[in-house]
Amino acid sequence: MKLLTADNVTLAFIGLGNMGQRIAQRLLDHGYQLFVYDRDIAKADPLAAQGAVVKKNILELARSADVILSCLTNDEVVRAVYTGTEGVFARARSGTLVLEMSTISPETSRELQRNGAGFGIEVLDVAISGSTPAAEAGILTLLIGGDRELFRAAEPIFQAVARQYFFLGGSGSGTAMKLVVNTLLGVGMQAIAEAVALGEKVGLDRQRLLEVLSKTAVIAPAHMGKLSRVANNDYSPQFPLRLMNKDFQLILNAAADMHLPMPATEAAFYVNAEELAHHKEEDFSAVLRRMEQFAGAADVQAASTAS
């Protein structure tokens, strides 16, 4: 199968949120002819200024491209975009390749692959690991499931947006690996939050604590950049709480299906949900502030009891 280069294929992109817009821009920067669509048409304006062709609806977009990429909010939105009489599968040409990049359940990925096959359309699940700055810089990690030959053909596209990409196996393998990765991401952030709260409670200076912690071997690269932002109480979203919350639910649902207990993940989900109730659009690192607030509430309660 031929390589899918800017010289021989046209691309379409559905979903121009924080990640999708940056990935689409990388594809434009690498010379791909690109059609774009988002329900919020204003999100397409920056890409249109760079040469993307904006489509008014999914019908127009699906008929236009050889390869369709999407980065959407959740399983329900993915199904709505691809299935049904107005969906991508019913409108795209036979032989179209779909690179579905949303964080969804492995079963939804497999369902999508089966549905696409009925229309002569191939689907790879291409899960994304990385933040919005990584997307902008083109240094994402991609986790891919589906047909190996299609994976090889799509490598030029992956190279335009990612520093590294991995083939995991059959359909659903990419999204399954994303759940594994985000388990560590979410639970790791909760562990950091608890450790920092403990350090403050036993009298360590917050700024010095965070500075020294960032120089130890126990902080993963994905969490490293959070510490300097947390030091300034900067919780502006790179990966919003609401998306981490959604991923926790996917993780715990998958674990429940397999009868696998995940007590640490359940605890991290609880704190994430507590913070989400107050600050929906802030970064998932805001669980650190939640733990500091828990610690402060404990001090108040102890003082009240003592009096």
Q: Is the model's pLDDT at 307 over the cut of 60?
A: no
Q: Using CB atoms within 10 A of its CB, is residue 258 exposed (0-12), middle (13-18) or buried (19+)?
A: exposed
Write out the residue range of the structural domain in which residue 288 sits.
177-300
Q: Are 84 and 17 contained in the same domain?
A: yes
Q: Are 156 and 234 contained in the same domain?
A: no
Q: At what angle do helices 173-201 and 106-117 cross, to 10 degrees?
A: 160
Q: Is the model's pLDDT at 211 over the cut of 70?
A: yes
pLDDT of res. 300: 43
Q: Are 212 and 242 contained in the same domain?
A: yes
pLDDT of res. 167: 98
Q: Are 160 and 32 contained in the same domain?
A: yes
C-alpha–C-alpha distance, residues 157 and 96, integer Å:
15
C-alpha–C-alpha distance, residues 244 and 248, integer Å:
6
Q: Are 184 and 138 contained in the same domain?
A: no
Mean pLDDT of 212-222: 94
Active-site annotation holder among 43, 178, 226, 246: 178
178 is catalytic: yes
CA atoms within 13 A on the CB side of 232: 7
Q: Are 156 and 23 contained in the same domain?
A: yes
Q: Are 64 and 158 contained in the same domain?
A: yes
Q: Domain total for the chain? A: 2
Q: Are 194 and 49 contained in the same domain?
A: no
- How far lies 34's CA from each of 126, 138, 143, in Å? 18, 17, 23
The residues with which 97 forms a beta bridge, in sequence order, are 67, 122
Given a contact cutoff of 8 angstroms between Cβ atoms, the answer to whether 107 and 170 are in contact is: no
249 within a domain of the structure (yes/no) = yes
Best CA proximity match to 10, nearest among 139, 77, 89, 96 = 96
Q: How many C-beta neighbours within 10 Å does residue 50 have?
A: 11
Q: Are 147 and 184 contained in the same domain?
A: no
295 falls in which pLDDT band (50, 70, 90)? Answer: confident
Mean pLDDT of 65-86: 96
User: How confident is the prediction for the chain on average, in pLDDT?
Assistant: 94
| Percent of the chain residues past pLDDT 90, beyond the cut | 91
297 falls in which pLDDT band (50, 70, 90)? Answer: low
Mean pLDDT of 215-234: 94
pLDDT of res. 299: 56
Q: Is the model's pLDDT at 225 over the cut of 70?
A: yes
pLDDT of res. 298: 53
What is the β-pairing status of strands 122-129 and 140-145? antiparallel
142 falls in which pLDDT band (50, 70, 90)? Answer: very high
126 falls in which pLDDT band (50, 70, 90)? Answer: very high
C-alpha–C-alpha distance, residues 193 and 68, integer Å:
39
Q: Is the model's pLDDT at 281 over the cut of 90?
A: no
C-alpha–C-alpha distance, residues 71 and 270, integer Å:
27
Which has more pLDDT, 86 or 286? 286
- What is the domain-level CATH number for residue 209? 1.10.1040.10
- What are the pLDDT digits (tens) for 37-61? 999 999 999 999 999 999 999 999 9
2 within a domain of the structure (yes/no) = no
Give CA torsion, residues 228, 236, 187, 107, to 10 deg: -140
294 falls in which pLDDT band (50, 70, 90)? Answer: confident
- What are the pLDDT digits (tens) for 18-30? 999 999 999 999 9
- What are the pLDDT digits (tens) for 243-263? 999 999 999 999 999 999 999
Q: Are 293 and 152 contained in the same domain?
A: no
Given a contact cutoff of 8 angstroms between Cβ atoms, the answer to whether 94 and 119 are in contact is: yes
1 within a domain of the structure (yes/no) = no
